[in-house]
C-alpha cells in the first residue's frame, strides 16, 4: 500500500526506534500503511545491547528492502545511530555508511560523547568526510546525559567541524528539556536539517538516569504532552525534514502505534497551527 499524505502537511517521516522490533522491511511496510513518506532505520546500535539491523551491500535483505520501498512509495531518510566517543574511528563504520548509501538514505544521525572537544570535532569532521564520499550528510543530536548536551553544543560542533554536509538534529525532548528555545532555533535555523517530533509532560528530569528513562520510554505522541510543537514546526517551516520518534510502549500492535503517531503529527500542520 503506497503512502498517502495530507495536502496540508509536508512529507513526514518516522524513526525506527518508534517500532524497533520490526525488521526494516516490516517497518517500511507498516510506516507506509500508516501514511508516512519517509523512514529512518537503525543500522548501528545506539548503545551496548540495543537492537539494530544489518543491510550489507550486495545482500538479499538490502535488495528486498529496495524493492519494498519502491513498491510502497516510501524512502529512507536517515540512518541511526553513531556515538562519537573517545574510541570512535570513522573508518570502522564505513561498511554501515556504504549500506546507508546503497538504500539511498540521505543522512546519518549521531551524538557526541567525548570530553576532548578537539578530538570530538576531529572525529565528527572525519565522519562527515566519509559520509560525503558516499553522498550522505551527518546530523548531530544533543542529549542531556552526553557531552553534547544542548542545541547550542550541537551548533558549535557543526561550526567547529567546518564540514559542508554537517547539520544539527532537533529532537523535541532533547531540545526543550536541555534549554532549547524557539528563539535559539530561529537564530540557527540554517544549521538545522532534521527535526524529530515527540512530546513529554511534567518536570524535566534532573539526573542522567532519569533523562535516559524519559527519552527511551517516557515519550508521548505529538500533541499529547506539553511541548510547543506547533510553534516548533512553524519555526522550521520547510527548511528541515520532519519525522516522529516515539517508542512503542504497552501492548498496542506496532501498526496501530504508527498510525496514531502519523495522525497526531499531521494535526500539527493544520490551518490553525
Question: Is pLDDT at 272 greater than 90 in this prediction?
Answer: no
What is the reported pLDDT for 4?
46
| Residue at grid coordinates 541511526 | 80
Cell numbers that stand for 193 in this block: 536539517
Per-residue CA distances from 241 to 5, 21, 38, 49, 121 (Å): 15, 24, 10, 29, 24
* Backbone phi and psi for residue 23, each to the nearest 5 degrees, phi listed first: -65, 160
Where in 87-191 does DSSP place strands (E)? Answer: 107-112, 137-141, 166-171
106 with 68: CB under 8 angstroms? no
Higher pLDDT, 179 or 48: 179
Strand partners, 243: 13, 196
Per-residue CA distances from 74 to 28, 34, 141, 196 (Å): 7, 11, 24, 18
Higher pLDDT, 272 or 33: 33
Question: Is pLDDT at 66 greater than 70 in this prediction?
Answer: yes
Q: Which range is least confidently modeled, 7-21, 25-39, 56-70, 256-270?
A: 7-21
| Residue at grid coordinates 535488495 | 63
Structural domains in the chain plus CATH codes: 12-267 (3.20.20.150)
Query: How many whole angstroms separate alpha carbon 130 and alpha carbon 124?
Result: 10
Cell numbers that stand for 144 in this block: 542531556
Amino acid at each position: 500500500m503506497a503512502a498517502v499524505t495530507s495536502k496540508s502537511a509536508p512529507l513526514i517521516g518516522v524513526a525506527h526506534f518508534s517500532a524497533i522490533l520490526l525488521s526494516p522491511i516490516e517497518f517500511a511496510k507498516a510506516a507506509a500503511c500508516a501514511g508516512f513518506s519517509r523512514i529512518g532505520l537503525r543500522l548501528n546500535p545506539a548503545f551496548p545491547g540495543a537492537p539494530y539491523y544489518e543491510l550489507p551491500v550486495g545482500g538479499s535483505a538490502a535488495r528486498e528492502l529496495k524493492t519494498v520501498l519502491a513498491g510502497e512509495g516510501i524512502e529512507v531518510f536517515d540512518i541511526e545511530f553513531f556515538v562519537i566517543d573517545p574510541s570512535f574511528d570513522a573508518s570502522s563504520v564505513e561498511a554501515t555508511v556504504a549500506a546507508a548509501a546503497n538504500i539511498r538514505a540521505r543522512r546519518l544521525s549521531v551524538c557526541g560523547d567525548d570530553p576532548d572537544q578537539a578530538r570530538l570535532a576531529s572525529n565528527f569532521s572525519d565522519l562527515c568526510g566519509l559520509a560525503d564520499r558516499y553522498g550522505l550528510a551527518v546530523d548531530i543530536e544533543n542529549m542531556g546525559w552526553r557531552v553534547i548536551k544542548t542545541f547550542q553544543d550541537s551548533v558549535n560542533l557543526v561550526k567547529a567541524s567546518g564540514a559542508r554536509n554537517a547539520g544539527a538534529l532537533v529532537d523535541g525532548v532533547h531540545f526543550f528539556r536541555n534549554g532549547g528555545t524557539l528563539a535559539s532555533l530561529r537564530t540557527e535555523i540554517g544549521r538545522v536539517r532534521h527535526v524529530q517530533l515527540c512530546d513529554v509532560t511534567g518536570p524535566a528530569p534532573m539526573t542522567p538516569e532519569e533523562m535516559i528513562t524519559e527519552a527511551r520510554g517516557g515519550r508521548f505522541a505529538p500533541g499529547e504532552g506539553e511541548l510547543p510543537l506547533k510553534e516548533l514546526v512553524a519555526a522550521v517551516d520547510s527548511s528541515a525534514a520532519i519525522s516522529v520518534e516515539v517508542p512503542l510502549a504497552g501492548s498496542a500492535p506496532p501498526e496501530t502505534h504508527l498510525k496514531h503517531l502519523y495522525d497526531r503529527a499531521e494535526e500539527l500542520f493544520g490551518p490553525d497551527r
